[in-house]
Amino acid sequence: MTTFDLHQAAKYLCMSESHLGELARSRRIKAAKPGKRWVFLEKDLVEYLDALYSFGVNTPQQGCDEEESSWHCTNVGTSGGLASRHQTEREYRALLAPKKRSGHKSMKTT
């Protein structure tokens, strides 16, 4: 039976270590802490992923650009599931748009 530490399990699931640690602390994913470090069983990680597929859930994913990953992940995440991808794109466009100059006209003296 294969075991993973927090770093390895986070890499396997394509998520941040802090997010996986929170899932483990809140018991949303099976894990054990026999000492000071989390230990994950590969079969439990697979069950967690399978449950996500079953419910059609998209979780926040980070750092999944690595070639050795066998799972397709995106770097798009939502906060609490309330923001849509389109809303986020609109917000980015608004922030990156060139600033309009104020309506002040230069005062030239002739």
The reported pLDDT for the residue numbered 75 is 47
The reported pLDDT for the residue numbered 98 is 75
> Domains of the chain by range and CATH?
1-66 (1.10.1660)
The reported pLDDT for the residue numbered 58 is 60
The reported pLDDT for the residue numbered 53 is 82
The reported pLDDT for the residue numbered 29 is 95
Helix 17-25 crosses helix 6-13 at what angle (to 10 degrees)?
Answer: 110
The reported pLDDT for the residue numbered 21 is 95
Which residue type, as a one-letter code, is found at position 68?
Answer: E
pTM over the 0.75 mark: no
The helix (H) or strand (E) run that includes residue 81 is: none
Measured CA distances, 37 to 24, 34, 94 (Å): 11, 7, 43
87, 65 contact by CB (below 8 A): no
Low-confidence ranges of the chain (pLDDT < 70): 56-88, 92, 100-110
